[in-house]
Structure 1
Amino acid sequence: MLSDVPAVVDRGRYPDAVTPWDDDVWRTAVLGWVEAGLTARGLRPTGEWRVRLRPWSVLLRLCVEGRDPVWFKANPPASAFEGALTAALARWVPRHVLEPLAVDTGRGWSLLPDGGPLFREVLARETVGPGAWEELLRQYAAMQHALTARAPEIQRLGVPAVPATALPGVFDRLDDTPLRPEERRRLGELRPRLLDWCAELAAVGVPDTLDHADLHDGQLFHPGPGRFTFFDWGDAVVSHPFCSLPVPARRALDRYGPHVLPRLRDAYLEPWTGDGRTTAELRRAVRLAWRLSALSRAAAYGRLFLTATGTVGTAGAATAVAAAGARCLLELLDDPPL
């Protein structure tokens, strides 16, 4: 029985954050569901299991007999669509994503196979050049492009739709983000220009599709040369695809310097060329989306496990989450680096 095996619990920087893990009834239901899912696949858990608790997810790593570990994930209500989305992506774009072992769409639970080494782990132990980042962006953009016709289906799974024309409303709803008076003033002065940027981005005519919204090097696997697997869709939106580029591009910028950015941009844009849009128009759209992507990422910090009073736990946990959202929002003030 899983409940008889000792667990190691990691709460990270959020030791007092609220998650359902501390509810005995919920935890018992999870462990029973996981055991049933493993049994249905002919798998038997062995040894210690690890728990990672964050305000936005509960993640369990379980060793199983004869194969790599498996993972359980529970999402809060606002991102409970992730299990259904992961299962749908495994049908639509199987080469690019994980295929879940089991999904409970009603409860926002997923049981997932191991995807191999994270790209972050590969970067830590090997010399990896910019070409790998170009290839991952090329593959990711090709996946997004293939999913454009699926955008209505993705929305029906519960993934929020945030077209460029809706971004000013997202900006307005983030008015309670904790900011210093000077920061709030500067953002307020930016709003008329934000309206123009959104209209210009929409006018380019690139169709909305799935935006991961947090595609950093810890959110994709790199199981072998030229192979990448994308996962962790809890922040996803249906939005302008180019909003996906800034997060991975900034990670590469930190490693290689600014000269790498045009290469990454052009690799990402390859699947989007044609359809009557010029290279200049696409590059301009990248600059616009680079800045505007901050809004979806800031809004994602509202997808959390909450108490009955609507808080994420203690004041310390709430402050840490709010500060992270504020940092995203302030990126609106930065000029795009390409």
Structure 2
Amino acid sequence: MNGDAVVDRGRYPDVVTPWEREEWRAAALDWVSDVLDAHGLRETGPRRVRLRPWSVLVRLSVEGAGPVWFKAGPPAGRFEAGLTEALSEWVPEHVLKPLAVDAGRGWSLLPDGGPLLADVLRDGPDGPRTWEALLGRYACLQRSLLPYAGKIEALGVPGARTATLPRVFDRLVAENGALTEADRAVLNGLRPRVAEWCEELAGLGIADSLDHADVHAGQVFVPSPGRFTFFDWGDAAVSHPFCSFVVPAGHAAERYGPGVLPRLRDAYLEPWTGGGRTARDLRRALRLAWRLGAIGRAVAWGRLFPGAADATDLAGDAQAAGSLLRLRDEPAV
């Protein structure tokens, strides 16, 4: 394989990842080489390595084909490789099909997925309409995965189910060293409401499913107009599916203004209609999940490489504390 590499550390010049260990790097690249050989592919050109506190990503050029991508996650996100493989079997129309995964080591080799949504939005004439279509397709993906929630958890994907969120909340508050006494007073005051919100949300009749937890324009490919491919499942959890809405809604509102939110809400909720659920019930569920999604986001901040937070300005506890405190914010929909 080509030994040249261009390394991008972004805002984390001192980030600690397994890539710095020669033995790990050699094993990973040997695995990639074996996979490429098995597919009759040959690497050409320099590698581009992207190191972050939560992932190692290597872009490899392949002769006669588009690039392929090697990804390795931290121990707490190791489930992503096996989840990616399983999703390609369960919902192939919505995700990438990996060339190979090593679920035990949390490694995957993925094909290129086409243009990013971020590039399409930059060049396209009607961004809000694209977001409406995307959220409708994402809701369809989540509905398709309702029967697989238990299997998804069995792959190691963390559980943040609606019924257990109060206990998850208690653990996060107890373990977080970045919360001040004032923060803890706020969160302890919210605790009874968290339990009430969860009970009400569970009673509205939408079962738990896969929550990507970080759907934004940099996490979605647009292989052709009207088609969307979702990737990067390292923050995922099994939770109430509506908890996913807050991140894409926030990105879209920042770009187009809060007036876009009712359109996006209705586009996301449309696939969930039926089964005796009223529009009022669905909108109430979305408002509840808007708040409670903050708990899943707080959980995800613990998925960093060991030592990564110590060598960067990224403090997982501080980020998780900020997520938890957003429970007090009024929903924007």
Q: TM-score, normalised by structure 1?
A: 0.94
CA RMSD of aligned residues (A): 1.5
1:329 aligns with 2:327: no
SS class of match (1:299) = helix
Superposition pairs of residues 66-105 of structure 1, within 5 angstroms: 66-105=64-103
- Counterpart residue number, 2:145: 147
1:327, distance to aligned residue in structure 2 (A): 2.7
Match of 1:312 among 292, 308, 321: 308
Distance 1:23 1:268 in 2: 44
1:68 partner letter: G
| Contact 2:16/2:311, CA 8 A, preserved across alignment | no
Superposition pairs of residues 239-254 of structure 1, within 5 angstroms: 239-254=239-254
2:325 partner letter: L
- Counterpart residue number, 1:7: 5
- Counterpart residue number, 1:169: 167
Distance 1:27 1:49 in 2: 13
1:17, distance to aligned residue in structure 2 (A): 2.5
2:310 partner letter: T
1:124, distance to aligned residue in structure 2 (A): 2.4
1:294 partner letter: A
1:190, distance to aligned residue in structure 2 (A): 1.1
Superposition pairs of residues 1-338 of structure 1, within 5 angstroms: 1-2=1-2, 5-175=3-173, 176-306=176-306, 311-314=307-310, 316-319=312-315, 321-338=316-333
2:328 partner letter: L
Q: Which runs of 5 or more residues in structure 2 are unaligned?
A: none
Distance 1:66 1:237 in 2: 37
| Contact 2:208/2:239, CA 8 A, preserved across alignment | yes
Distance 1:25 1:245 in 2: 41
The 1:58/1:315 distance shift into structure 2, 3 A limit, reads closer
The 1:318/1:252 distance shift into structure 2, 3 A limit, reads closer
SS class of match (1:188) = helix
1:128, distance to aligned residue in structure 2 (A): 3.0
1:181, distance to aligned residue in structure 2 (A): 3.9
C-alpha distance after superposition, 1:300-335 (max 9, x if no partner): 1111211xxxx435354453x333323322221210
1:336 partner letter: P
| Contact 1:177/1:325, CA 8 A, preserved across alignment | no
SS class of match (1:150) = helix
1:297 partner letter: R
C-alpha distance after superposition, 1:21-76 (max 9, x if no partner): 11110000001000111111111111111111111111101111111110000011
Aligned residues: percent identity? 61
SS class of match (1:112) = strand
Distance 1:42 1:21 in 2: 26
Distance 1:12 1:178 in 2: 25
Q: TM-score, normalised by structure 2?
A: 0.95
Distance 1:105 1:241 in 2: 25
Distance 2:143 2:312 in 1: 41
SS class of match (2:88) = helix
Q: Which runs of 5 or more residues in structure 1 are unaligned?
A: none
The 1:243/1:107 distance shift into structure 2, 3 A limit, reads same
| Contact 2:59/2:69, CA 8 A, preserved across alignment | yes
Q: Runs ≥4 in structure 1, deviation > 4 angstroms? A: none
Distance 1:26 1:335 in 2: 46
* Corresponding residue pairs, total: 331
1:213 partner letter: A
Distance 1:314 1:226 in 2: 42
Distance 2:25 2:283 in 1: 48
SS class of match (1:249) = helix
SS class of match (2:50) = strand
Distance 1:224 1:7 in 2: 31
